Structure formats: structure tokens, C-alpha cells
Structure 1
Amino acid sequence: MSGDGRGIEREYRRWREASRGRVVVMWTVIGNTVLQLSRPDHIPLRYKLLWLALLAAVAVWGVLTVRRGLTSVGADGVSVRGAFRVRRRAWHDIYDLRVEARPKQGRADARWLTWLYDNDGRRLPLPNVDDWQLPDLRAEIDDLRTVAAAHRGMAWEPRPEVEARILLRAGHRKAQERAITWALLAFFAGLAYLLWEVITGGEPHPFLLLLCAPLAAYALLLPLFRKLASRRAPAHT
């Protein structure tokens, strides 16, 4: 983190690299995938190239996210730079800055992340504002909230209507995660069936199995899961 002490101008950059264990696991998975795809078998080359292209795209996105990730704080608000774009939030649009436990963290380096919530209940992750990059994350956020109070023009007080929006959007995010999970299951099921068709000399339909089926599962299940989430969310009166 660079800045002027308790001043409002601050930049949170990545200064601490990922643990060696995570790097070893990541490269082991990538290397094993490439090795399996390079082995001679009955799978057509075009399918292997497609899978390698997807793997390369994910790897490039991950590297850019890590290297370009930056949170910048100033008198005008907060700016977040990701892999390909920069998002900005003015202080009067920011409802809260919250430190939350990382879900399904496993052996992740960062166990606590910081999220920016706006007045509409949307949240935005703040890159490098976590307990892996900052030794005392909670103290840093408390200090930042104190210094930023003058620029917001209002106190950091809870508002029931915004809290209700936050809970509703959290339910919708959970619904989207569940729909994506089922879409991925449909994708891998289609991939397994596709490979079986190729090996047995059948007529595979990759467009239907790898694209249409997962998209159909996502499109059908997302409204259902969101409806269930909306019913569980507390209504604001």
C-alpha cells in the first residue's frame, strides 16, 4: 500500500506474491492438462485445440487480473482496475466498505476480502485490499472510513432500505452461482458424451453438447433460483 499515511490518497498494489504451494498446484494442473491433451488418442485435433484455447484464455485473464489489479482511493472516490477495465465510484455513491470472510477459501492466501457496497446494494471487490497484502486489514479499513467520512458528506450509518437491497442481491448472486454450477455440470456431461461418441465412432454434435445444452440449463434454472431467493429475502417496509 502506498499513500500519505492517514491521508485520503492511497493505492493498494500487489506487493506480496502468492504462496509457493498455490503456484505449484496451479502449474501442476496446467501441465497435466497439456500433457493429457498431447497424448495420441482418438480425439480429433480440433477439439484439443479448442480446449487449449479455452485454457490459455483463462490463464491470460488470471495473469492480467493479478498483475494489473489495483485499488486507488482519492478525494473523489474509489477506482478499481481489473484485467481489462477500470471502475470508479464517487464517495456519495458508496454506502459502505466491508471486510468479509472469503467463501470457500480452502488454502487460499487471502482469508478476508474487502468489498465496496453502493447505495443500490451492488458490491465491488477491492483488489489487494485483503489480509494477504495488508498485515492489519481491519485497522486499515477503519482508518480509511474515518478519513473518507469528510469526503462522503454523511456518516457511515446503516440504512434499512440499502441493507434490504444488499440481502436481495446476495440471494441473486447465490442463484447465479447455482445456475452456473449446473451449466458447468451440463458442459462436462456433454464433453464426456462427446468423447465417448468420438471414441466409438459415432456422430458427435459439439455445438449442441458443449454450448446449447449448458446455455439452456443456465437460462432455465437462473429464473427459478432467483425466484426462490427473492422469496427468502426479507421485505423492507
Structure 2
Amino acid sequence: MAVVIGNCLLQLTRPDHIPVRYKLLAPAVIAALLVWAGLAARRGLTSVGADGVTVRGAFRVRRRAWHDIYDLRAEERPKQGRADNRWLTWLYDNDGRRFLLPNVDDWQLPDLRAEIDELRALAAAHHGKVWEPRPEVEARIRVRAGHRKAQERAIIWALLAFFAGGICLVWEVTTDGEPHPFLLLLCAPLAAYALLLPFFRRLASRAPAHT
């Protein structure tokens, strides 16, 4: 990552016809990503207490009381290398929403399954009953999973539109054309996202449900 960032900054220092205001965009994005990654690594944690589960990220703190928690599940990350954590733990609430539990994974914990079983037992103790699946909550989880997948696809296409707009912007600047950064780097990606999100959601709603 350091080599890639260093090469990017080096290319920005080369003399060319690109105005300085456009060159400052890439370092600003890189700096924002580094700040977010540093805060997420330093602040991210999962804490469990008598009142429920608290999840702290880079900027947000979310809490769920035990009576609002539906389930805790370990889900495998596809296509991950051996050096990365392959299993992540998600908290599902009664509305079908899920929240990632930072550091509750197979990289930080030697026996992730036992840890989740212990958390489930703790939740059951506060609920006063053993956990069992509820069809209405499972249906909400499937619907939200479809919406999440549609959003991911729309974001990918918006990023492709952003990179295509960046290429067009560089072409316009280097050929002494009239640049349109607002249109190419903001309006086009947002339009692609807004148009494709309902389309992908419609496709997800027509897909067969999986248990």
C-alpha cells in the first residue's frame, strides 16, 4: 500500500498540463482513507455487558439491548487469503438489520464458535428463553440482504462511472478542452447510483429466497 500511495504522489509531482486544483483531489482522498483506516483500527471494538452489546467504529457507536438482539452469526468471507480473517461475526436485531462485531473473528479469537456460543447463551439468559428461529425475522433478514446486495452493485457501477469520468477529465485537461469536474466526478456517479439501485433491488426481489 505504501508503494502504491508513494507512486501515486510521485506521479502528481511530474510536470504536466493538469491544474494544481485537480492534482490535490487524489491526496485528499488518500488522506481521508488513511484517517478512516487508522481510527477504525484504533477505536473499533465490541463490548458485552449486562445491558447488551456495544459496537464502536471509527466514528459511530451503536448499542443494542439484549431484548433487541435476534441472533449472533459467524459468516465466511469468500475468496480470502490465509493471512486474513475468513470468518466475521454479525449481530442481527429483531428488524433484520445486521451490525459487524469488530475483532470478533477467527483472526482475533482462537475458537470463534465457542465465543459465539457463549454470547448466545448470555443472550438467552437475558431473554429468559432459548434462542429459536422466527420466520418473520428471517424474512426481514433475507429482504435486507437483497437490498444490501443491490446497493453493493449500484456502488460498484457508480465507482466505474467515477473512474470513467476521471479519465474523461484528464483527457479534457490534457487536450486543452473545457473540463467539467462537477459533472463527470459527482453528477454522473450519483446518477448511475440513483438509476441502478431500483433496478438491482427489483432483480433481488425476484430472486428465489435461500435459507
Give TM class, smaller chain.
over 0.9
What do residues 133-191 of structure 1 show as CA deviations (whole Å, max 9, x unaligned)? 11111111112211331112332111111111111111111100000000000000000
Which ranges in structure 2 are unaligned for 5 or more consecutive residues?
A: none
Correspondent of 1:82 among 47, 57, 74: 57
Correspondent of 1:177 among 149, 152, 158: 152
Alignment match, 2:183: 208
Question: Deviation of residue 36 (structure 1)?
Answer: 1.8
Alignment match, 1:166: 141
| Contact 1:168 1:233 (C-alpha < 8 Å) held by counterparts | no
What do residues 17-41 of structure 1 show as CA deviations (whole Å, max 9, x unaligned)? xxxxxxxxx2222222222222222
Question: Deviation of residue 59 (structure 1)?
Answer: 1.0
How far apart, in 2, do the equivalents of 1:107 and 1:131 lie? 11
Question: Deviation of residue 63 (structure 1)?
Answer: 0.8
**TM-score, normalising length: structure 1:** 0.85
- Tell me the secondary structure at the aligned position of residue 110 of structure 2: coil
Q: CA RMSD in A?
A: 1.5
**Superposition map of 1:1-237 within 5 A:** 26-106=1-81, 109-232=84-207, 234=209
1:118 maps to a residue whose letter is D
What do residues 78-108 of structure 1 show as CA deviations (whole Å, max 9, x unaligned)? 0000111210001111010000002443466
2:21 maps to a residue whose letter is R
How far apart, in 2, do the equivalents of 1:169 and 1:150 lie? 28
Which ranges in structure 1 are unaligned for 5 or more consecutive residues?
A: 1-25
Number of aligned positions between the proteins: 210
- Tell me the secondary structure at the aligned position of residue 178 of structure 2: coil
How far apart, in 2, do the equivalents of 1:33 and 1:107 lie? 28
Q: 1:34 to 1:111 in 2, by over 3 A?
A: same
Higher mean alpha-carbon deviation, 60-69 vs 39-48, is at 39-48
| Contact 1:79 1:87 (C-alpha < 8 Å) held by counterparts | yes
Question: Deviation of residue 118 (structure 1)?
Answer: 0.5
What do residues 200-225 of structure 1 show as CA deviations (whole Å, max 9, x unaligned)? 11001000000000000000000111
- Tell me the secondary structure at the aligned position of residue 84 of structure 1: coil
- Tell me the secondary structure at the aligned position of residue 121 of structure 2: helix
**TM-score, normalising length: structure 2:** 0.95
Q: 1:134 to 1:29 in 2, by over 3 A?
A: same
How far apart, in 1, do the equivalents of 2:114 and 2:5 lie? 38
What do residues 31-70 of structure 1 show as CA deviations (whole Å, max 9, x unaligned)? 2222222222221110111121111111101110111001
2:161 maps to a residue whose letter is A
| Contact 1:64 1:83 (C-alpha < 8 Å) held by counterparts | yes
